[in-house]
Structure formats: structure tokens, C-alpha cells
Amino acid sequence: MSIPFWCVLISALLIYVARMPVAKAMKEQGGYNNHLPRQQQAQLTGFGARALAAHQNSIEAFMLFAVGVLMAHTTQTAGWLIDTLAIIFVIARIIYLLCYWADLAWQRSLVWVVGLVCSLLLMISPTFRTVLL
């Protein structure tokens, strides 16, 4: 399996890593309400609310990244830049989660932009495919 595909797998797992603090915060709120979890999540504040937002953003970011990797792959655009963009995306998403949980707003936004740029560059990578090969 290629480096970008491994990065897609790691990014998918990060969605669930981001979810773990949400479940913990819900339990601290009087127990996990498995009948109406979304209603309970809507009542989270502080760390729990930030953890939920980080989880939701992880889902959103994953879609663009996965599409970017697939666009590069299906057009046979490969090489060091594609690998590097995928790795940087994963690192940015890990830092993003840590920043969100720690309430570091501007730092979180900065690493979010880094991840977004990586995804967008992966999506347009077929345009500069000859440079990469």
C-alpha cells in the first residue's frame, strides 16, 4: 500500500480518535445517553463542545483529503510531492486535534489551513503531473 493510502487510513482512524473525548465528556455529564446521543452532545460545553467540534471537523476534512488522494492515484500522479502532502496532512490533523482540545484558537486555524492546502494541492496535482514524475 502506498504512503498516501496509509495516510488515508490514518486520517480515517483520527476521526474516531477525535470522538473518544466526546464520549468521555458525555459520560461526565451524568452518563452516556445512547437513546439521544446527539441531543446530549448539543448540551456539551467547554472541552466537550470543543472535542465534538474537532470530531465533526475531522469528518469534513477527511472527505477532501481522501478525494485528493484518489484523484492523484487514479491519474497515476505519484512521487515525492504526493507522499509529502499526504504526510503533512496527517501531521497537521494531529496537531489540529491537540490545538482544538487545548483551546488554542489561532494555532488551530493555522494548521487547519495547512491541511486544507494539502488536500487542495492533491486535488490539482494531476495538472502538474509531469513535474512530479
Residue 133 in any domain: the answer is no
Range of the domain at 60: 3-128
CATH of the domain at 103: 1.20.120.550
Residue 38 in any domain: the answer is yes
Alpha-carbon distances, residue 4 vs 38, 77, 105 (angstroms): 33, 11, 28
47-98 pLDDT, tens per residue? Answer: 999 999 999 999 999 999 999 999 999 988 878 899 999 999 999 999 999 9
Q: With pLDDT > 90 as the criterion, what percentage of the chain qualifies?
A: 69
pLDDT at residue 130, as a whole number = 63
CA–CA gap between residue 73 and residue 93 (Å, rounded): 21
Residue 113 in any domain: the answer is yes
CA–CA gap between residue 4 and residue 122 (Å, rounded): 10
- 8 burial via Cβ count (<10 Å: 0-12, 13-18, 19+): buried
Q: How many domains does the chain have?
A: 1
Residue 95 in any domain: the answer is yes
